[in-house]
Amino acid sequence: MNTKELSRFRQLVRDTADHPRVQIMKTYRQHGRISTYDHCMGVARMSFRLARLLHIRTDEPSLVRGAFLHDYYLYDWHNHQHKLHGFRHPKTAMHNAIRDFNVNSLEAGIIRTHMWPFTLRALPRTREAVIVCLADKICALRETFHRSSPRAEHS
């Protein structure tokens, strides 16, 4: 990202990323040693970049906010109580995001459908939702294979 893009991204992500409940995600593990917070930051950044790179017209504030909150389920999924995590967490994250951030319908849709095709019937129906669904998979793969730094906000 160039300097202008980076400052736009930081401006868009700030309010969500700095929220005290979002900060809790720094204590939950996502893939490997990466926290859920870093994963969400990475997906927000990847979504922003993909939209710009592919010249896809999006509602950028909602794209970034939905992307950041896509895994806002607020627990450590390695805990055995969360065996159906893969299927259930998009709905949990969406309800948490509505409760804490009053997200709009576009943002709620992004969160709800990000696991598609794993959640077969929750199909992404907006450009923003498709981008986040794709960005999440790219980031998860990269994190699993330790190929990239999760500290996306600093690069």
Total residues at interface with Fe ion (CB under 5 A): 2
Q: Nearest CA to 44 among 107, 2, 101, 90? A: 107
Q: Which of 120, 22, 116, 32 is nearest to 73 (CA)?
A: 22
Which residue, 7 or 117, has its beta carbon nearer to Fe ion? 117
Pick 52 or 88: Cβ nearer Fe ion: 88
* Span interacting with Fe ion, options 7-15, 101-109, 120-128, 135-143, rule CB under 5 A: 135-143
Give how far Cα 63 sits from Cα of 75, 110, 129, Å: 23, 8, 8
The Cα–Cα gap between 16 and 62 comes to: 11
Looking at beta carbons only, is 107 or 136 nearer to Fe ion? 136
β-bridge partners, 95: none
Q: Which two tokens stand for residue 81?
A: 């109580």
In Å, the largest CA–CA distance within the chain is: 44
Q: Which is nearer to Fe ion, 71 or 128 (CB)?
A: 71
Of 98, 93, 99, nearest in space to 72 by CA: 93
For position 38 contacting Fe ion by CB under 5 A, the verdict is no
CB of 23 to Fe ion, least distance (A): 18
From 107, 128, 136, 143, residue interacting with Fe ion (rule: CB under 5 A): 136
- Smaller CB distance to Fe ion: residue 38 or 136? 136
Minimal distance, residue 41 CB to Fe ion, in Å = 11
| Residues between 50 and 109 that touch Fe ion (CB under 5 A) | 71
List residues near Fe ion by CB under 5 A: 71, 136
